[in-house]
Amino acid sequence: MVGIIVKPLGRPVRISMIIGLARKFPAEEAAHMACDELKGTLMEMGIGVRKVATIEDVTLEGMRKAKGMTDQEAFDFFSEGFKLHLAKLGVSRSVIRDLRFE
């Protein structure tokens, strides 16, 4: 698969914020906010609206899973999930490897 061209992300992906949402809010509310963050990040990277609109929304399931995880497990879970979304969209592996997470 040929990778799509995206702009390097000028900031880390805010996984810690998503974990905080999962801990603080009910799963449904946290999922909506996390999905908005994910889609905004993808668009900031230059992935088109049509492609962003087609990604499978698994944030509710993720928020429910994160409730029972340690912070490190949740961080790893969300980081890998974000990388998987990018790979499914056809983003180059080199771009995925260069991402920073906080």
Average pLDDT over residues 70-86: 92
Whether 3 is covered by a domain: the verdict is no
Q: Is 4 helix (H, G, I), strand (E, B) or coil?
A: strand
Whether 20 is covered by a domain: the verdict is yes
- pLDDT of 79 reads 94
Burial-class residue 70 by CB neighbours within 10 Å (0-12, 13-18, 19+).
exposed
Burial-class residue 69 by CB neighbours within 10 Å (0-12, 13-18, 19+).
middle
pLDDT tens-digit map of 9-60? 888 999 999 999 889 999 899 989 988 888 888 888 888 888 888 777 778 8
Q: Looking at residue 25, what DSSP letter applies? A: S
- Across the strands, what pairs with 4? 91
pLDDT tens-digit map of 54-76? 777 778 888 888 888 999 999 99
Residue 1 reports pLDDT greater than 50: no
Whether 67 is covered by a domain: the verdict is yes
- pLDDT of 47 reads 85
Instruction: Please state the domain count of the chain.
Output: 1
75: containing domain: 15-98
